[in-house]
Amino acid sequence: MGAKKASPDLLNSSFSFKSLKLKTKQQELLLRVSILGLVYVLAFIARLFSVLRYESMIHEFDPYFNYRTTLYLTEKGFYEFWNWFDSESWYPLGRIIGGTLYPGLMVTAALIYWTLRFLRFFVHIREVCVLTAPFFASNTTIVAYFFGKEIWDTGAGLVAAALIAICPGYISRSVAGSYDNEAVAIFALLLTFYLFVKAVKTGSLSWALGSAFGYFYMVSAWGGYVFIINLVPLYVLVLLITGRYSMRLYVAYNCMYILGMLLAMQIRFVGFQHVQSGEHMGAMGVFLLMQVFYFLDWVKYQLNDTKLFQTFLRITVTSAILVGGIALGVGTASGYISPWTGRFYSLLDPTYAKDHIPIIASVSEHQPTAWSSFMFDYHILLFLFPAGLYFCFKRLSDATIFIVMYGLTSLYFAGVMVRLILVATPAVCLISAIAVSATVKNLTSLLRTKQKVPQTGSTKGVGSSKSSSKVTLDQSQPFQKNGAIALLVGVFYLLSRYAIHCTWVTSEAYSSPSIVLAARGAHGNRIIFDDYREAYYWLRQNTPTDAKVMSWWDYGYQITAMGNRTVIVDNNTWNNTHIATVGRAMSSYEDEAYDIMRSLDVNYVLVVFGGVTGYSSDDINKFLWMVRIGGGVYPVIKEPDYLVNGEFRVDKGASPKMLNCLMYKLCYYRFGELVTEYGKPTGYDRARGVEIGNKDIKLEHLEEAYTTSNWIVRIYRVKPPTNRL
Amino acid sequence: MAARNWIFAVAVAVAVFLSLSTFSSAQDLQIVNAERRIDLSSHIVKAFLTLKVENIGKDPAADMLLAFPPTQIKNLAMVQALAVMGKKKKKTYLPLDVKPTEQPDAPNDAGYFLVSFATPLGPGETVTLEVLYILTHSLEPFPVEITQSESQLVYYHDSAVVLSPYHVKQQTTFFKTPSTRVESFTSVEPANRAGKEIKYGPYEDRAPYSYAPVIVHFENNSPFAVVEELVREIEISHWGSLQITENYRLTHGGARHKGVFSRVEYQSRRSITGSSSFNALLAVLPPRVNSVYYRDDIGNISTSHLRTGFKKSELEFEPRYPLFGGWRATFVIGYRVPLEDYLFEAPDGRRYLNFTFGCPLVETIVNKLTLKVVLPEGSKDPSAVLPFTVNQDLQVKYSYLDIVGRTVVVLQKDNVVPTHNVPFQVYYTFKPIYMLAEPLMLVSAFFFVFVTSLAYVHIDLNIVKK
């Protein structure tokens, strides 16, 4: 506003200054672009904590597989990658990589890498992979801006961009180094939704086409595309029911569905699921329903007779539903349409996995969400969300209906599974942004009109949309002004708390690579436990190249990526029986386990043990899941055998089966000789705070091959069978 | 075993064959006194040979030959010779030119080095030479595989007498072992052992090419750190720094580890277990080094300490795991040093890099060293100057924002020992204007982007007029 009041003599004196002077609209644009630019940068740098604190490295488990495949893609090219049969995992089955992964992430990273190389920036592919997630998070903020602009106004768009840039629910999956599918998928998800809403709003084929391509990218990147292919039809259905059917919707949905489906079939992992799987049938049903609707519309136009049309309507709808139902029934019965998968069931019914599929239930990120983690990940958005819903309902349009549906459904799923908080985050941010933006806008307009009323004496300067608020304003002026100021201060206080909370959460909770553990020493200095990499590098350098390593499936990807050795099972848990076999070996006595290991051709066994350092997510604590998963396939393994009065113990009171099973022996081998903590007896397990029950462990068929410096990873060599001569 | 039998055969053959053969120049010299001290305390065998040479011929001799048995010649990393000038207190040493040579009638593939005297040795004159030669991979572990609690024992094969094409009047050989534990040694009278030293000799009047094979079997727990391959890349940036990247492939070259590795024993009974293993290494880096990193294929390795000093910097680091016999580790060390310490301008206007050859790790053998000097883009006429022979090659490397690529001078040498850490020079011509190429490129790229966006904003691309 300052430039508006530039003194006239200054204008006369210099021409250039006059030409540089910006109009209000240009100023607004400049402000908006610079805010967006800052948000873009902020979203990127807020995710760099782990790089600064640790190093530029890949985090967690799955990203290591993604990194390994990306490396392969950049080295060997796309066709080799697409046809890659990986014999290093799932020994002896192997894995067809091209047909069992979502290639979107790898191809994206490789494209960025090749572009940079073309521009003569010779970066390492690892750096590209590490920074892919922050880069796409930045892009997501831009999409969030446009989305917010589409459903509300530019102000809401800006707030949405700022909120999503630092929202912990999103940061948790997109810090530098978490090179996972979700990193690009959330961008793709939001982009698809945005383009679809835009298409519905304009009825333009080009936006619908864009949306189909967005969907294709999403399908290529993440299995979560199922959410899109179910939410969009649901949305269309709701519009149909609420009488909002229009030609725009018809064009948008048909183009998006048909093209999106055809494109998605190009991804081998997805294949013909769009026409064959139960999870995708809803979309097809809605597609057919649209045609019926269109047809009916046409008939209604042709008939001009209400009574006849009513009859026709009844017949058509009944027969359409009948035909659809029969087709679905026949398809399902003949096996052409596959039933819903376990993961899908467990989403709809949270108790399903616990009873039927222990392997899904064993993953911590598949657990139902606790209230605290909602608070942790959303902070003030949690109560801005209902406020935003209120605003959306007040100004109902096709776009706001969409965001409301997206918000509500995804929030339900977020409650079912912890990891799906991620999917809900953009919706929560957008709806909260509407709340913030609308509130702040109302409040400031209150303040501004009040200032202007005595000065100009007219209310023409204010936008026409706010005429209703002006009326109330004129009635009670002094009280409202103070109230508005107080509320504004309150909003800014809340927003600044949000920023502080987000920074704190990012720095404390979401920026540790989990492959390197850090602890505070006695003098406040930082101690690094780099045992995982120590063990993996040892495997890589000092074992035969064709050695097979058996470990619990959590470490499979890391062993193949960092240790470069063949594993029996890994994090791609596609074969439950194979995992159960490993679980059975781990929970059997040594000689029984030896037979299983011989049959699987195992050379080395790797276990993770936290008894020396007090690292609690080790194999002993995961052990009951191995028993459950093993017992699920092999009934010889019974969970009660490992428990004493329903309690899991490792000390003297533990069950004899527990004290002598392979996992126990491998974890505690020669641990009984060690003093871990001053003033405690030898063999004191710091992770569980007990003295172990079996200190005299003898191994017959295995021998210790390597134990890392803090004992976190222990590797055993399986001895060849003794000569029987 | 085959090797030893073979050496016997050599000895016998040599004895028969040599009495007949005559050397035109060889007969003119004789060695009055030879004293050899062989240091076996680490895995790099250093031999100090003091020779008193007399010309008994009629013509002045310009050079003399040093002979080595074929088993040693392939492990010989370096031979240096100094002439001792002056008397006892005022001794000065004059480095002499030593180069490998071929002799057409060499008995049993013996290898030769030709030492050129500073001034030809006149008839009847004597000169004292100090010869240093270094052998690698000459300690053969026996037993070949040991467990964690065992100590490492090695064989060393040599001759009790100096192999020489000349008559040797008097000679003595000393072997210095790292500890007093010597399992056995071949006796060639007079030979005796006192503490860490085994003395062979003195032997009188030995004919040319005399050979008396001896084997010493002793304990050696010094770190057998062998770098199988080292690639050092020195990238010159005229903007003020040298970036050095060193790729190591390290292995423990001693007796292979067999059986279990027990962490309990390794951490609680450190003094008696894993005595031949090592887990710390020391690299001597240039002074004023900065931005040092130590990492491998899977990330940073956090166990390293850097001490910087005026004369040198020391980087003490540990591989991810202790190295037992036969275990391997690969890693990368990188650092940066200021340019002004290493890049100079020659009087003829060319620039030259003056840097240290060899491997910065202390007491290690490098089987294959490749040193790449990456010159700035636009450099011409590179030439390398080294005090010893290496394979030279030229490559092109593309780095950030390069268009024509950078010239890379590749120097490659096998069997490198710490004694090879001597300065070498790479000369090249470079026009300073090339320094501006990359910044200008960036500036113009940004300029282009802005101009395009400016144009885009101002040009109406709509087909339909609004």
Supply the pLDDT for residue B7.
52
Which among B245, B370, B337 has a CA at the least distance from the CA of B295? B245
Mean pLDDT, residues A137-147 taken together: 96
C-alpha span between B83 and B81 (Å, rounded) = 7
C-alpha span between A109 and A66 (Å, rounded) = 10
Ranges A12-21, A345-354, B99-108, most confident = B99-108
C-alpha span between B366 and B359 (Å, rounded) = 7
Answer yes or no: CATH 3.40.50.12610 is held by domain A528-718.
yes
Q: Which residue is associated with the tokens 């080009």?
A: A206
Supply the pLDDT for residue B339.
93
C-alpha span between A183 and A199 (Å, rounded) = 25
Q: What is residue A353's DSSP assignment? A: H
Q: Is the pLDDT of residue A543 over 60?
A: yes
Q: Nearest chain A Cα to B320, which residue?
A: A534
CB contact under 8 A, B328 and A542: yes
Gap from B264 CA to chain A (nearest CA, Å):
7
Strand, helix or coil for residue A426: helix
Q: Is the pLDDT of residue A18 over 60?
A: no
C-alpha span between A218 and A185 (Å, rounded) = 6
A57 interfaces chain B, CB cutoff of 8 Å: yes
Supply the pLDDT for residue B5.
53
Q: Is the pLDDT of residue B11 over 70?
A: no
CB contact under 8 A, A120 and B300: no
The band of A17, judged by pLDDT with boundaries at 50, 70 and 90, is: low
User: At residue A165, what is the residue type?
Assistant: A
Lowest mean per-residue pLDDT among A66-80, A380-394, B2-16: B2-16
Q: Is the pLDDT of residue A457 over 50?
A: no
Q: What percent of chain A has pLDDT over 70?
A: 93
CB contact under 8 A, A541 and B330: yes
Chain B CB contacts of A711 below 8 Å:
263
B262 interfaces chain A, CB cutoff of 8 Å: yes
Supply the pLDDT for residue B324.
93
Dihedral sign, Cα of residue A479, residue A484, residue A489, residue A495: positive
Higher pLDDT, A589 or A6: A589
B149 interfaces chain A, CB cutoff of 8 Å: no
Max CA distance (Å), chain A: 111
A709 interfaces chain B, CB cutoff of 8 Å: yes
C-alpha span between A233 and A264 (Å, rounded) = 16
Q: Over the stretch A214-256, which tens digit does the pLDDT of each residue have?
A: 999 999 999 999 999 999 999 999 999 898 989 999 999 999 9
Supply the pLDDT for residue A627.
93
User: What distances in angstroms separate CA A61 from CA A67, A441, A554, one per listed residue?
Assistant: 10, 45, 7
Q: Over the stretch B183-239, which tens digit does the pLDDT of each residue have?
A: 999 988 888 898 899 999 899 999 888 899 999 999 999 999 999 999 999 999 998
Mean pLDDT, residues B51-75 taken together: 90
The band of B8, judged by pLDDT with boundaries at 50, 70 and 90, is: low
Gyration radius of chain B over CA positions: 28
Supply the pLDDT for residue B286.
92
Chain B CB contacts of A122 below 8 Å:
398-400
Q: Which residues pair with B384 in a beta bridge?
A: B426
CB contact under 8 A, B300 and A57: yes
Mean pLDDT, residues A160-189 taken together: 94
With contact defined as beta carbons under 8 Å apart, do B132 and B418 qualify?
no
Chain B CB contacts of A708 below 8 Å:
263, 321
User: What distances in angstroms separate CA A158 from CA A40, A139, A153, A392, one per listed residue?
Assistant: 11, 14, 9, 17
Mean pLDDT, residues A272-290 taken together: 89
Q: Is the pLDDT of residue B259 over 60?
A: yes
Which among A537, A594, A544, A557 has a CA at the least distance from the CA of A708? A537
Q: Is the pLDDT of residue A474 over 70?
A: no
Higher pLDDT, A27 or A199: A199
C-alpha span between B371 and B358 (Å, rounded) = 8
CB contact under 8 A, B261 and A706: yes
Supply the pLDDT for residue B59.
86
With contact defined as beta carbons under 8 Å apart, do A104 and A598 qualify?
no
Q: Over the stretch A88-103, which tens digit does the pLDDT of each residue have?
A: 889 889 999 988 999 9
Q: Nearest chain B Cα to A668, which residue?
A: B264
Mean pLDDT, residues B104-127 taken together: 86
Of the partner residues A537, A540, A707, the one whose CB lies closest to the CB of residue B263: A707
Supply the pLDDT for residue A476.
54
Supply the pLDDT for residue A3.
41
CB contact under 8 A, B328 and A541: yes
Chain B CB contacts of A530 below 8 Å:
301-302, 320
Chain A CB contacts of B400 below 8 Å:
120-122
B434 interfaces chain A, CB cutoff of 8 Å: no
A562 interfaces chain B, CB cutoff of 8 Å: yes
Gap from B263 CA to chain A (nearest CA, Å):
6
List helix spans (H) across A417-561: 421-456, 467-475, 477-508, 531-542, 556-558
Gap from A550 CA to chain B (nearest CA, Å):
18
Residue of B263, B268, B300, B324 to mutate when probing chain A, most A C-beta within 10 A: B263
Q: Is the pLDDT of residue A593 over 50?
A: yes
CB contact under 8 A, B260 and A537: no
Higher pLDDT, B465 or A569: A569
Q: In what order do the strands lie in the sheet with B304-307?
A: B281-285, B313-317, B304-307
C-alpha span between A177 and A60 (Å, rounded) = 9
Residue B345's Cβ-count burial label (10 Å; 0-12, 13-18, 19+) is: exposed
CB contact under 8 A, A704 and B298: no
Supply the pLDDT for residue A190.
96
Of the partner residues B262, B298, B300, the one whose CB lies closest to the CB of residue A536: B298
CB contact under 8 A, B261 and A533: no
DSSP A279-296: GGHHHHHHHHHHHHHHHH
CB contact under 8 A, B260 and A57: no
C-alpha span between A393 and A398 (Å, rounded) = 11
Which among A559, A673, A688 has a CA at the least distance from the CA of A615? A688
Of the partner residues B262, B295, B321, the one whose CB lies closest to the CB of residue A670: B262
CB contact under 8 A, A533 and B299: yes
Q: Is the pLDDT of residue B408 over 80?
A: yes
B440 interfaces chain A, CB cutoff of 8 Å: no
C-alpha span between A571 and A165 (Å, rounded) = 30
Strand, helix or coil for residue A407: helix
User: At residue A486, what is the residue type?
Assistant: A
Of the partner residues B297, B301, B320, the one whose CB lies closest to the CB of residue A538: B320
C-alpha span between A414 and A382 (Å, rounded) = 13
Q: Nearest chain A Cα to B403, which residue?
A: A120
C-alpha span between A639 and A619 (Å, rounded) = 16
Of the partner residues B263, B301, B401, the one whose CB lies closest to the CB of residue A711: B263
Q: Which residues pair with B193 in a beta bridge?
A: B198
C-alpha span between A672 and A685 (Å, rounded) = 10
A530 interfaces chain B, CB cutoff of 8 Å: yes
Q: Is the pLDDT of residue A191 over 70?
A: yes
Q: Over the stretch A631-690, which tens digit does the pLDDT of each residue have?
A: 989 999 999 999 998 889 999 889 999 999 999 999 999 999 888 888 889 999 999 999
> ipTM, 2 decimals?
0.89
Domains and CATH numbers, chain B: 27-217 (2.60.40.1730), 223-436 (2.60.40.1730)
Q: Is the pLDDT of residue A470 over 70?
A: no
The answer, as to whether pTM is greater than 0.80, is yes
CB contact under 8 A, A537 and B261: no
Q: Over the stretch B276-305, which tens digit does the pLDDT of each residue have?
A: 899 899 999 999 999 999 999 888 898 889
Mean pLDDT, all residues of chain A: 88
Q: Is the pLDDT of residue B446 over 90?
A: yes
The band of B465, judged by pLDDT with boundaries at 50, 70 and 90, is: low
The band of A369, judged by pLDDT with boundaries at 50, 70 and 90, is: confident
Mean pLDDT, residues B32-46 taken together: 93
Q: Over the stretch B356-403, which tens digit does the pLDDT of each residue have?
A: 999 999 999 999 999 999 999 889 899 999 988 899 999 999 888 888
CB contact under 8 A, A541 and B398: no
Chain B CB contacts of A57 below 8 Å:
299-300
Gap from A223 CA to chain B (nearest CA, Å):
28
CB contact under 8 A, B400 and A562: no
Higher pLDDT, A142 or A327: A142
With contact defined as beta carbons under 8 Å apart, do A602 and A568 qualify?
yes
Question: What is the distance in angstroms between the CA of the first residue and the CA of the last residue of chain A?
Answer: 97
Chain B CB contacts of A706 below 8 Å:
261, 263, 321
Q: Which residue is associated with the tokens 């960092």?
A: A562
B270 interfaces chain A, CB cutoff of 8 Å: no
CB contact under 8 A, B320 and A534: yes
The band of B21, judged by pLDDT with boundaries at 50, 70 and 90, is: very low
Strands B313-317 and B281-285: what pairing?
antiparallel
Supply the pLDDT for residue A303.
81
Q: What percent of chain B has pLDDT over 70?
A: 94
The band of A19, judged by pLDDT with boundaries at 50, 70 and 90, is: low
Give the number of A-B residue pairs with CB atoms closer than 8 Å. Answer: 71
Gap from B337 CA to chain A (nearest CA, Å):
22
CB contact under 8 A, B321 and A537: yes
CB contact under 8 A, B400 and A711: no
Mean pLDDT, residues B300-321 taken together: 91
C-alpha span between A555 and A572 (Å, rounded) = 11
